[in-house]
């Protein structure tokens, strides 16, 4: 893993048979999912906000391209 074990456990720790996983193990898997989900959501929102400050409008470009593709002006 590039970033290493930030939360103290690695992917190989959970590579064993999940049918015998302890409920605490499942909690840590879910906690990791929530942690990285929250980090990626926050990052995406911050990047989108920064792009708006610099007037970078990707959605507008996509809509204009879609309209011009079908003959709109």
Residue 33 phi/psi, 5-degree rounding, is -60, -45
71: its two tokens = 């003959």
45: its two tokens = 């929102």
Q: What is the pLDDT of residue 28?
A: 87
* pLDDT tens digits, 5-30: 565 655 666 565 555 666 777 888 89
Q: What CA–CA distance (Å, rounded) separates 29 from 36?
A: 11
Closest CA to 12 of 57, 42, 4: 4
Which residue has better confidence, 1 or 69? 69
* pLDDT tens digits, 37-70: 999 999 999 999 999 999 999 999 999 999 999 9
């Amino acid at each position: 893993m590039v970033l290493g074990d930030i939360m103290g456990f690695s992917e190989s720790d959970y590579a064993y048979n999940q049918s015998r996983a302890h409920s605490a193990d499942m909690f840590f898997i879910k906690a990791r999912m929530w942690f990285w989900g929250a980090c990626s959501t926050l990052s995406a929102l911050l990047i989108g906000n920064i792009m708006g400050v610099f007037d970078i409008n990707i959605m507008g470009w996509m809509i204009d391209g879609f309209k011009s593709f079908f003959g709109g002006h």
